[in-house]
Amino acid sequence: MMKILFLSAGNSVHTIKWVNALEERGHDISLVYNKGHEPVKERLNDNIKCYCLKYSGNAGYYLNAGQLKKFVKEIRPDVINAHYASGYGTLARVSKIGPVLLSVWGSDVYDFPYESKIKNRIFKKNINYAAMLASTSECMAKQMRKVMGTPQLDISITPFGVDLRLFDPDIYKKSKSVQNIIIGNIKSLEPIYGIDKLLYAVDILLKRLNNVGGGDINIKLKIYGTGSQKEELQKLATSLNLNEVVCFEGRIANTEVPKALAEMDIFCVTSRKESFGVAVVEAMAMGLPVVATNAEGFREVMEDGKTGVIIDEYDAEQIADALERLVSDETLRQNYGENGRRRAVELYDWNKNVDTMEAVYETMKKAVEDVRV
């Protein structure tokens, strides 16, 4: 059993998933976060101790340094794991707590260092301050090495997989119709996720099916999520005459995702950028064939031509090509789905991922003990 201090946004589903899993393994978990990042208590295991720092916003990553230092002295953790190299990585460094394991998430590596020279320097300082580094994907680790200019930078890979007990297609066994095909997407309705491209692709797909006598196939597109583009995307669907085809289902709780996926025949993600394709992993775990754009995170988690189709170019016509192949070939959908399930079991079993994180913590704990000796 380890005493672990998690320095991370408590309102993040990723944070909640990590701390709950580690607490269930018997570890003593303290979750520390800035004001404004409070977790929904009902989603946290009862034994997790929460510490809310006084200040919010970007200033909080500096102004909360003294209070964080006091919490660390009070908690006396075996391991400190700060999540997100920009914000909480800065707070950990400014507080001079440590040693720290710093976990990177995505935009903190892909976007933050390029926003200004000052942010680039902050990022590098935070990375250099950390005693150990972790990333959920190989492609994100590669990006971190690129930003740092250090090809040999040691980074532990700690995948963010799925609970295969919940994401199990056998739980939701149901007969699927060859004539009724549901294409699905579960993403925030934000520009980076390219839902507009998906709408254009489905419009193209329907016109092609009508032209080749496939109009008897009933296509539905279910889009789960909400965001700043919701109204814009609804208007686009109307302008494309897709109101009878597209269903905007709204935000969905993670506990409801397996059931939603079970209703789908094809999962399609059209992101412009992804550091780790957890949505794709969830779909594969549910035995779905996947159509995905050529983002790094998608390329890492799926296999083109085996678990689905990766589009070479960010183009609605090519997305429609891939969808048309899968819509018209039930056997191909089944084969890709079965391959995806096997890949998810092999590489992204959440229990094994937590084992990996625990091993990283053990290494960190030993390093801390050696320093103290």
- pLDDT tens digits along 56-108: 999 999 999 999 999 999 999 999 999 999 999 999 999 999 899 999 998 89
Kindly report the number of other CB atoms within 10 A of residue 149's CB atom.
8
**Contact between residue 344 and residue 351 where contact means Cβ atoms under 8 Å apart:** no
Q: Which CATH superfamily is domain 169-347 in?
A: Glycogen Phosphorylase B; (3.40.50.2000)
What are the pLDDT digits (tens) for 302-360?
Answer: 999 999 999 988 899 999 999 999 999 999 999 999 999 999 999 999 999 999 999 99
CA-nearest of 218, 240, 311 to 270 is: 311
More confident residue, 20 or 40: 20
114 or 370: whose pLDDT is higher?
Answer: 114
Considering Cα of 342, then 271, then 333, then 234, what sign does the dihedral take?
Answer: positive
Report the chain's mean pLDDT, rounded to a whole number. Answer: 93
| Predicted confidence (pLDDT) per residue in 121-162, tens digit | 999 999 999 999 999 999 999 999 999 999 999 999 999 999
Task: Give the model's pLDDT for residue 367.
Answer: 74
Q: Does domain 3-161+350-368 fall into CATH 3.30.1300.10?
A: no
How is the chain split into domains, by residue range? 3-161+350-368, 169-347
AA letter at 83: H
Predicted structure pTM score: 0.87
Share of the chain above pLDDT 90, in %: 86
The rounded distance, in Å, linking the Cα atoms of 216 and 64 is 61
DSSP 41: G
**Amino acid 217: pLDDT:** 84
